Structure 1
């Protein structure tokens, strides 16, 4: 049975967060900035970023809010949680029960928030992200963990960029791979990152 994702976060949380950041940094909302950008003749994202940085000192995520308002949102950012998870497993329906079981665990566990993305699902504690559910290939799903544990047994080292804390993973090939050990690792990662 598919989990109920009505409380799962989507990209809208990032949009809202970036808009709030812009307002805190500048004292003006996204609509004010978009109007000023149009008045200044800004024609594309690169010009907007330069104009906001060089003339107004606004950088980073706060710029995204204005860019999306002026030039449009990427299509995937407008999707609901169910649409995002459906898209991730559309060509691999045999792997969907693994993702559904992980999401059901997350929904039932106190202190876990689900963030849907185009290609993966993030699991967050009140403090920060502690796990990521990703279709690894055509036959398996990886649970990437922010966890201080040495590789061994089911826990594998994950290849990551320097500075990426999600360097441990558990690979799942079926719902039969989901057992007390996996859920214990998820609970430990949640505790370490809360």
Structure 2
């Protein structure tokens, strides 16, 4: 059983969700799209992405069709726990920081955990509100999608390392850094993205 709890989605579950999203957004099945991509689509990834965008297929639906055409990354076959273990393999002393973030999620609001190869997305029923990543050997970054973040020496611009979903980050060096102030910021970001 996953130590991340029932709110963590496996890549297989994410794929099923993406298949449903593709059908809802285009009215066509994965099989239909795969046949059209095979028959008409460009033979390289960049070309396929542009071709799909011209047809209104973007985001997760586009990613699904690109993976269907060119193959899924190795990490798609790993469990959520295996992916998180790999993220912290060379910095085990930071794993308690990640575990502390996951432990407070019930206090933050309804959250789905989506584990990626190098980070973990925290998602409201509407969209990603936070990202957790071991950014250095001494720090885990908690990125938040928060346009109106206050001025604080603890908050800095997110940068590209945490992906395009988040706007600011808070560096956490130990579980104690996840204090009431940070918990309040997480709640605010969650509410703003729900």
Unmatched runs of 5 consecutive residues or more in structure 2? none
1:22 corresponds in structure 2 to 22
How high is the TM-score relative to the length of structure 2? 0.78
Distance 1:69 1:172, change over 3 A: same
Query: Could you state the TM-score of these two structures normalised by the residue count of structure 1?
Result: 0.78
What is the aligned length? Answer: 188
Measured after TM superposition, the shift of residue 12 of structure 1 is 3.9
Is 1:127 aligned with 2:150? no
Q: Deviations over 1:62-121 (max 9, x none)?
A: 343333223321111232211111111011100001001111112565412212111111
Secondary structure, counterpart of 1:187 in structure 2: helix
List gaps (5 residues or longer) in structure 1. none
Change (3 A) 1:122 1:67: closer
RMSD over aligned CA atoms reads 2.9
2:129 touches 2:165 (CA, 8 Å); kept in 1? no
C-alpha change, 1:181 and 1:39, in structure 2 (3 Å) is closer
- Pairing of 1:129-144 with structure 2 (within 5 A): 129-144=128-143
Deviation at 1:6, TM superposition (A): 3.8
Whether the aligned pair in 2 keeps the contact of 1:106 and 1:114 (CA below 8 Å) is no
User: How far did 1:40 drift?
Assistant: 5.3
SS of 2:117's partner is coil
CA distance in 2, matches of 1:125, 1:41: 34
Pairs within 5 Å for 1:97-176: 97-107=96-106, 109-147=108-146, 148-153=148-153, 155-160=154-159, 166-176=166-176
SS in 2 for 1:137: coil
Question: Does the CA-based 8 Å contact 1:106-1:113 persist in structure 2?
Answer: no
Alpha carbons of 1:74 and 1:170: their partners in 2 closer, same or farther (altered >3 Å)? same
